[in-house]
Amino acid sequence: MIEQPVLERVLHTALSTGGDFAEVFAEDRQNGNGVLDDGRVEQLTSGRDRGAGIRVVVGDTTGFAHTADLSEEGLRTAATAASAAAREGGGGVREIALTRSDVPSPNDVQILPADVAKGDQVEILRRADAAARAAGGEISQVTASIGAGRKRMLVANSDGLFTTDDQVRTFLSVSAVATGDTGMQTGRKSIGHTIGWELFDRIDIEDFAGEAAQQAITKLRARPAPSGELPVVIGAGSGGVLFHEACGHGLEKDLVDKGASVYGGRVGELVASPLVTLVDDGTIAEEWGAFAVDDEGSPARRNVLIEDGILTEYMWDFLRSRKDGRPTSGNGRRQSYKHLPMVRMTNTFLEAGDTDPSAIISGTDHGVYVAKLGGGQVNTASGDFVFGMVEAYLIENGEITEPLREGNLIGNGPQCLRDIEVIGNDFAFGGPGTCGKDGQGVPVGDGCPTLRVGQLTIGGTAA
């Protein structure tokens, strides 16, 4: 993308009026996606986004500029702007010598999206549509979306670091609407992995689309969700988002340092049920948040955040780790070259326990079984979180009974972690997620075993 001597000269320019640190992050993204809606492949889209972001750090101040012009002149103009933004500084001149060191990617991409015939996208979309509609006469509408993106990036900084990564992400999602006497209900399935088009050799498109449709059909006979506090059993897989929200964000060191986390100053303390071991791991091959190096060039790592209920680690980006005089944890990420990096999760998951999942349900007298959680959000300062139940059922006398309409589930992170009563010996990663923080979205994975929380508040209308 950019030659090493050019990077060295650009970093030199960035620090020419002083500064403690300078970095060039450049990327070239190519995206292709197709959308089927209303029985018709509506459109294929191709996108190209290429550019570089340059930051200069002086003391606690960061100056940042970005450009879509990757010529030496364009990069030097951006470097000057970033340097002016950081200002101050005493005018020292530093020579930068880069040492290239690439980290092996955890992801083994077999079929690059660019090598796939566009007609293949259309065929998969058509199959998904047909299978969803075949699930039942109640299905009144289907949307399917397929796509792949390749992000080639490089990071070079004034510490001499020079590294690259090549990330390919491929996804499929199917949404169905079912119509009945009670109105309309929706179902949705999505899958995404940090691999190439071989994703579609591994899944049964018909089963996948059929499940989305079935979810919508089942909800037609759903009753309103209960209102109030109940025990909640969360199914293996998509419940990982609970931990992403309930405590993951609160372990991001930038929020901790600003006093905006309930977990500040609590390393070494028991913050969860001793059953809980929570991990953030960017090296899990093929998961949605997996990469070789983060967007600051640090290798992805496995970080155990909570071990047997005890808080062991926060997550760091470059600036926070430098300030704290420790290695980074590989959590410095950004949405694109137009954004500054910050502390972000990768693949966050709760490790499996030792109870048979069916025993968890049969051991619940009256409660709610959440088969699939939707998106959520957390107030890290208070720890209060909320997220959607996309597919949920009532548990009565130890058995899953009626389906429930959609609603939100709320709780408090630290309380919820203490209230985890039992953890299953199963485990699954959930669908691909996009985590939003301060206006930036990055791809993340999450996972969990089946588990029961003693009580959460269900935001339904039924008494």
Partner 1 sequence: MSTAGTSVEALQTIADRVAGLAEPGEQVEAYVSAGTSTDVDAYEGEIEALTQAGSAGIGVRVIKDGRTGFAWATSLDDGIIAETLAEARDNRPYAEPDAWAGMAEPDGVEPVALDVHRPEVLTMPVDDKVAMAIELERMVRDADPRVRGVRSASYHDAEGAFALATSSGIHAGGRTTAAYVSVSALADDGDASVIAGGYSVGRAPSELSLQEAADDAVSRLLAKIGSTKPESGEVTLVLEPRLTSTVLGIISGMLGGEAVAKSRSPFAERMGEQIGSSLLTIVDDPTNPDSPGAEPYDDEGLATRRVPLLKAGVLEGFLHNSYSARRAGTVSTASAARGFSTRPGISARALTVEPGAGDLESLVAKVDNGVLASALGGLHSGVNPVSGDFSVSVEGVRIRDGQRAEPIKEATLASTLQRLLLDISHVGADVEWQPGGTGGVTLLIPGVTLSGR
Whether residue 174 contacts residue 38, with contact meaning beta carbons closer than 8 Å, is answered with: no
d(CA 321, CA 327): 6
153 binds partner 1 (CB under 8 A): no
> In the complex, what is the shortest distance from the CB of residue 425 to partner 1, in angstroms, rounded to a whole number?
29
Residues near 71 by Cβ (< 8 Å), separated by ≥ 6? none
Of the residues 4, 312, 362, 379, which one makes contact with partner 1 according to CB under 8 A: 379
SS3 36: strand
By CB under 8 A, what part of segment 57-76 binds partner 1? Answer: 59-68
Q: Which residues pair with 444 in a beta bridge?
A: 433
d(CA 266, CA 419): 18
d(CA 159, CA 98): 8
Of the residues 89, 332, 367, 383, which one makes contact with partner 1 according to CB under 8 A: 383
Residues near 117 by Cβ (< 8 Å), separated by ≥ 6? none
> In the complex, what is the shortest distance from the CB of residue 164 to partner 1, in angstroms, rounded to a whole number?
20
Dihedral angle of Cα 263, 268, 271, 273, to the nearest 10 degrees: 160
Of the residues 81, 148, 234, 345, which one makes contact with partner 1 according to CB under 8 A: 81
Q: How many residues bind partner 1 (CB under 8 A)?
A: 78
Nearer to partner 1, 90 or 119 (CB): 119
Of the residues 145, 412, 440, 450, which one makes contact with partner 1 according to CB under 8 A: 412
> In the complex, what is the shortest distance from the CB of residue 57 to partner 1, in angstroms, rounded to a whole number?
10
By CB under 8 A, what part of segment 38-57 binds partner 1? Answer: 38, 40-51
Residue 180's CB: how many other CB atoms inside 10 A?
A: 16
By CB under 8 A, what part of segment 261-300 binds partner 1? Answer: 262
6 binds partner 1 (CB under 8 A): no
Q: 365, 356, 368: which is closest to 424 by C-alpha?
A: 356
Query: Which listed range, 161-169, 184-192, 291-299, 304-312, lies at the site for partner 1 (CB under 8 A)?
Result: 184-192
Query: Which listed range, 10-18, 324-332, 383-391, 444-452, lies at the site for partner 1 (CB under 8 A)?
Result: 383-391
> In the complex, what is the shortest distance from the CB of residue 196 to partner 1, in angstroms, rounded to a whole number?
19
By CB under 8 A, what part of segment 114-143 binds partner 1? Answer: 118-119, 121-122, 140-141
Q: Which residues pair with 113 in a beta bridge?
A: none
DSSP letter string, 54-104? EEEEETTEEEEEEES--SHHHHHHHHHHHHHHH------------EE-PPP
Nearer to partner 1, 110 or 377 (CB): 377
By CB under 8 A, what part of segment 19-38 binds partner 1? Answer: 34, 37-38
Nearer to partner 1, 63 or 445 (CB): 63
d(CA 349, CA 428): 9
By CB under 8 A, what part of segment 195-234 binds partner 1? Answer: 219, 225, 227-229
By CB under 8 A, what part of segment 431-460 binds partner 1? Answer: 438, 457-460
179 binds partner 1 (CB under 8 A): yes
> In the complex, what is the shortest distance from the CB of residue 184 to partner 1, in angstroms, rounded to a whole number?
5
Q: Phi and psi of 338, rounded to 5°?
A: -85, 0
